[in-house]
Structure 1
């Protein structure tokens, strides 16, 4: 069954994060997904607050930009959160927006090399290994966590282009896909991921989470708000068919039907992303929760 998740955007004021997370859990939604945009809310801090304030909901970070953090610090933070809330954190990593990475003096000349080195070291540290490595970007000298996780922590990798998609399949414990993939583009994207998995010798039948972000809205002006936002992002959303390629809108049944379409195309988690100008997040969460009930009863 495809998992339905709700996104809390990083532009959300910090004071609103916990109340919204509690509303998500109360609505019966199983997962909350966050991500980090410079210079808004932090992923690990927001995830920790949500996990502390809720009982069951899982929290995914899709994603933390690798250039912003030393890999040992990321491992320490992830292991700490996992130790406090076992099995409830999914810490995704990605390249980051290159202009922002340059803005903070952290842009990598080869993001793919950084991702390979970073993911390899992070997974080893979280597995309790003692790591010594000297790469182009990641250097560790006899580093091991005092408190490694007691169970494996999946680390999905965000990807967009063909090379990064193959790399995600090769080194990731799943892949995080942004909304620009769209419903029609999902099968081709997953072919690139599968190529990476095959090249690494992974079992094609083994579970491999595919987290797909999808813009969504409810209410009478839902399509108008979605079209304005996606057009500003440079996406071709002319007409209902164009908009429907990248977004879901309408009542709970419309959202549930859309999630099923993405599930049939290969997504294991569909994370619904409200528009930046969503006027009523509580109402949005309520409708997403109703869609969850429809999916559960299908």
Structure 2
């Protein structure tokens, strides 16, 4: 019952994307996820290329920082991708790293308010509605997409704090949870998301969770460097190191805690990114109940 994916990390140069996309698509990987981290690579440009280079897999972008992007522009870009590659686009938005938003003069006083207004407007535009709104941050006057998608794609949103989690449950179609969360932590996040959904009179939102993963020679050493980079006191239950059986067990634990999609996040210094996506598709996938 679990969808399985992998991340193309933006620590790799953009020209490394094509061979990894081709390896992922040929191997049968369900989803390849991209990040729009400042100041590395564009989520939309990379997603368009990945979709064009592949034939069947879905491509996710998680997350695009909403303070950096006018909502009408994002709606135009998402609609274009969905019309060209229907059913293969998964777009996630979020607050963005606040220090980065400050660097570009886009930091806002209330990220939760912005996210709520942004997701609401974005979903309406992608549904083909004419949108007029005068919110605290989102201001639109009679805006209608000329080329809305035939069916509006889901809009995912990510968050970390309790207020943001509840807001995601209120307005987003699915939630994205960052790597470094144990199954018990995920249960807590799931509760907050459900509180938001219940308050809005909506059903619970599906959850996408990233999972730090390393396999092959030097995997433990690479994961220890990840622990240091992310500032974790312990990597126990926050990541998985080992063969396909170990990785699949960690995926199943997250699924039991409420994850609908688990996206395996390799270490930035993984020596074989193409091999990693093949590993996920060929070795881990058969050991996890399919979505």
How high is the TM-score relative to the length of structure 2?
0.96
**Aligned counterpart, 1:283:** 275
For 1:31 and 1:85, the matched residues in 2 are separated by 14
Query: How many pairs were matched up?
Result: 290
Listed as ranges, the matches of 1:75-114 within 5 Å are: 75-114=75-114
**Distance change (3 Å), C-alpha of 1:297 and 1:209:** closer
1:217 matched to 2:214? The reply is yes
Q: Does 1:162 align with 2:162?
A: yes
Instruction: String of CA shifts for 1:212-252, please: whole Å, max 9, x gaps.
Output: 01111111321221122122211122xxxxx2311112111
Contact residue 180 and residue 212 of structure 2 kept, 8 A: no
Give the drift of 1:85: 0.2
2:8 corresponds to 1:11: no
2:134 aligned with 1:142? no
In structure 1, C-alpha distance between the alignment counterparts of 2:215 and 2:153, rounded to whole Å: 34
Report what 1:39 is aligned to: 39
Moved more, 73-82 or 261-270: 261-270
Structure 2 alignment gaps of length 5 or more? none
Give, in angstroms, the shift of residue 77 of structure 1: 0.2
- Between the aligned partners of 2:242 and 2:26, the Cα distance in structure 1 is 21
SS at match of 2:275: helix
Aligned counterpart for 1:230 among listed residues 211, 227, 231: 227
What corresponds to 1:261 in structure 2? 253
Counterpart-to-counterpart distance in 2, 1:223 and 1:209: 31
Unaligned runs of 5+ in 1: 238-242
1:183 shift after superposition: 2.1
C-alpha deviations, 1:5-30, integer Å up to 9, x for none? 01001122111111101111122210
1:63-101 Cα deviation digits (max 9, x unpaired): 100011100000000000000000100111000000000
Q: Quote the Cα distance in structure 2 between the aligned partners of 1:168 and 1:294.
A: 31
Q: Is the 8 A contact 1:251 1:287 kept in 2?
A: no
- SS of 2:155's equivalent in the other structure is coil
**Paired position in structure 1 for 2:20:** 20
SS in 2 for 1:197: helix
In 2, distance between residues paired with 1:152 and 1:125?
A: 9
Provide TM-score, normalisation by structure 1.
Answer: 0.94
